[in-house]
């Protein structure tokens, strides 16, 4: 199932389905049955509102605690504040022009509409409590505001995820400048390409149920590029930089997992069987990922660790994101296990081997796990493996599409991040704080506070 983002003809939807609105619909790839007949179900609406706040819980406090606990005590507030502040920025960008650029009405240029939509819905122009957004079921729609808010939380968490690689050594001002540019030139076009009906990957039939490409590969690759441009933390890897509170990381992991049900099952856009399938997959792939990571640790001669448990959970969640409604439960389990094993080697072997400082492993888990998930989705989608694909599903062809979408996203994210970091450097007068501030910690240097006072 592909997320069909055909929006019901603008603000005038329902009551005033004008000729102009129909002409606009006709320009879309797959205009469904009469929009005028579409109904809004209260159950669907209630679920989407709930799912939206569940995703919000993933950011604050989920991701803030998860990342914060992994950082050193002197940077705890810096990490939590950066995560929260870029998420807030994303929300404002989203209602000002983000929603329109990602999901607004098509631009007249056919080529350009592969990458972005127009600005007709900037400042949510025309969006009213009565306007509606399409779901996957013909004749069933949800309030457009619910769709705007749900997608807003995705933009917010994605930009916050990127920060995982650059924390502890990037100035707050530079982080904010980076976030504004990155959202505009990376997140919005990629979201449009994958999820909007006129988007390039959507038209190719790329499968991405809840954001494996848009959220995780996008954030992970951007995180890697940003970390490479920023340089390593002072003392890395010579000095030990153990997490300051795996307790908080554990709490954050739990909040992320619970919130992820809103993220994945909410991406069904309805309260139905597809959402339930996404939910069960989000349970079992994650459970398998958690245990698999610990087993790999044992196989490598180490102790099964609490951080390994948490990391396996995140790897499983990331991998099942594109597959959530596109896989059977046992396909999801296999995906969770494979992602966990691959991510383990990405963070424990590849990272030290290549020597980059991805501080909290945003690339190692979100980027790598996202790639495993995106490519794996083409496999577990097959009906012969318990997936929901049609009987004539061609795995080979879909694999090509998935790999193509992954490679294109990698390229887009890498180039866009390089531009965003360069702009941020110019705007903020450098990306990094002074060596003294970095040594003392960004809590004091950027915010004038300490997380823990004796």
Q: Is residue 356 close enough to count as binding another protein by CB under 8 A?
A: no
The pair phi, psi for residue 40, each rounded to 5°, is: -105, 125
Which of 24, 50, 305, 422 contacts another protein by CB under 8 A?
A: 305
| Residues 280-299, mask of contacts with another protein (x by CB under 8 A) | -----------------x--
Distance in angstroms between the alpha carbons of the first and the last residue of the chain: 54
Tell me the C-alpha distance between 293 and 8, whole Å: 44
Q: In the complex with another protein, which residue's Cβ is closer, 74 or 398?
A: 74
Shortest gap between Cβ of 300 and another protein (angstroms)?
8
Tell me the C-alpha distance between 268 and 135, whole Å: 8
DSSP per residue over 162-174, as a string?
HGGGTTTSS-HHH
Q: Is residue 308 close enough to count as binding another protein by CB under 8 A?
A: yes
Mark the segment that binds another protein (CB under 8 A) among 193-201, 239-247, 407-415, 441-449.
239-247
Handedness of CA 408, 414, 420, 422 (dihedral sign): negative
Q: Is residue 303 close enough to count as binding another protein by CB under 8 A?
A: yes
Q: Rounded to whole angstroms, what are the CA distances from 422 to 172, 175, 356?
A: 15, 12, 19
How far is CA 326 from its chain centroid? 17
Q: In the complex with another protein, which residue's Cβ is closer, 284 or 317?
A: 317
Tell me the C-alpha distance between 68 and 62, whole Å: 10
Q: In the complex with another protein, which residue's Cβ is closer, 100 or 311?
A: 311
Shortest gap between Cβ of 122 and another protein (angstroms)?
42
Largest CA distance in the chain: 69
Stretch 357-376 residues interacting with another protein (CB under 8 A):
361, 364
Q: Rounded to whole angstroms, what are the CA distances from 282 to 243, 313, 344, 413?
A: 27, 10, 20, 26
For 188, the token pair is 């919005």
Which of 96, 123, 139, 302 contacts another protein by CB under 8 A?
A: 302
Shortest gap between Cβ of 175 and another protein (angstroms)?
23
Shortest gap between Cβ of 301 and another protein (angstroms)?
10
How many other CB atoms are found less than 10 A from the CB of residue 238? 8
Shortest gap between Cβ of 212 and another protein (angstroms)?
22
Mark the segment that binds another protein (CB under 8 A) among 24-32, 83-91, 304-312, 380-388.
304-312
Mark the segment that binds another protein (CB under 8 A) among 40-48, 209-217, 305-313, 435-443.
305-313
Q: What is the DSSP letter of 429?
A: T
Q: Is residue 355 close enough to count as binding another protein by CB under 8 A?
A: no
Which of 62, 243, 250, 289 contacts another protein by CB under 8 A?
A: 243
Mark the segment that binds another protein (CB under 8 A) among 92-100, 175-183, 237-245, 445-453.
237-245
| Spatial strand order in the sheet of 132-134 | 39-40, 140-143, 132-134
Stretch 312-351 residues interacting with another protein (CB under 8 A):
344, 347-349, 351
For residue 141, the SS3 value is strand
CA angle 54/328/377 to nearest 5° reads: 80
Q: Is residue 235 close enough to count as binding another protein by CB under 8 A?
A: no
Which parts of this chain interact with another protein (CB under 8 A)? Answer: 237, 240, 242-243, 297, 302-303, 305, 307-308, 311, 344, 347-349, 351-352, 361, 364
């Amino acid at each position: 199932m592909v997320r069909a983002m055909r929006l019901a003809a603008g603000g005038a939807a329902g009551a005033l389905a004008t000729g102009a609105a129909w002409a606009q619909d006709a320009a879309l790839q797959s205009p469904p049955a009469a929009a005028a007949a579409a109904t809004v179900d209260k159950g669907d609406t209630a679920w989407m509102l709930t799912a939206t706040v569940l995703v919000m819980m993933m950011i604050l406090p989920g991701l803030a605690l998860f990342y914060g606990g992994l950082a050193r005590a002197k940077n705890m507030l810096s990490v939590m504040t950066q995560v929260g502040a870029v998420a807030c920025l994303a929300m404002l960008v989203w209602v000002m022009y983000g929603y329109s650029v990602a999901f607004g009405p098509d631009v007249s240029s056919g080529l350009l509409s592969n990458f972005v939509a127009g600005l007709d819905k900037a400042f949510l122009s025309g969006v009213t409590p009565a306007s509606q957004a399409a779901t996957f079921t013909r004749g069933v729609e949800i309030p457009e505001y619910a769709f705007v808010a749900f997608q807003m939380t995705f933009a917010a968490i994605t930009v916050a995820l990127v920060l995982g690689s650059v924390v502890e050594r990037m100035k707050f001002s530079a982080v904010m400048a980076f976030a504004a540019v990155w959202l505009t030139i990376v997140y919005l076009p990629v979201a449009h390409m994958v999820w909007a009906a006129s988007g390039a990957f959507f038209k190719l039939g790329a499968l991405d149920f809840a954001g494996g490409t848009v959220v995780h590969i996008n954030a992970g690759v951007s995180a890697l590029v940003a970390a490479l441009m920023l340089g390593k933390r002072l003392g890395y890897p010579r000095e030990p930089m153990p997490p300051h509170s795996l307790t908080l990381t554990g709490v954050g992991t739990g909040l992320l997992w619970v919130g992820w049900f809103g993220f994945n099952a909410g991406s069904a856009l309805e309260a139905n069987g597809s959402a339930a399938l996404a939910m069960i997959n989000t349970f079992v792939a994650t459970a398998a990922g958690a245990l698999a990571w610990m087993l790999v640790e044992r196989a490598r001669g180490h102790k099964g660790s609490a951080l390994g448990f948490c990391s396996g959970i995140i790897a499983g969640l990331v991998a099942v994101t594109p597959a959530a409604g596109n896989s059977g439960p046992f396909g999801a389990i296999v995906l969770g296990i494979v992602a966990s094993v691959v991510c383990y080697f990405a963070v424990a072997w590849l990272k030290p081997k290549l020597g980059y400082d991805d501080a909290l492993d945003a690339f190692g888990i979100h980027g790598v796990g996202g790639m495993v998930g995106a490519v794996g989705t083409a496999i577990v989608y097959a009906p012969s493996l318990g997936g929901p694909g049609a009987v004539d599903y061609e795995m080979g062809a879909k694999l090509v599409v998935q790999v193509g979408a992954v490679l294109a996203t990698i390229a887009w994210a890498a180039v866009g991040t390089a531009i965003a970091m360069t702009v941020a450097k110019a705007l903020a007068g450098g990306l990094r704080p002074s060596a003294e501030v970095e040594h003392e910690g960004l809590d004091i240097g950027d915010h004038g506070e300490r997380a823990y006072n004796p």
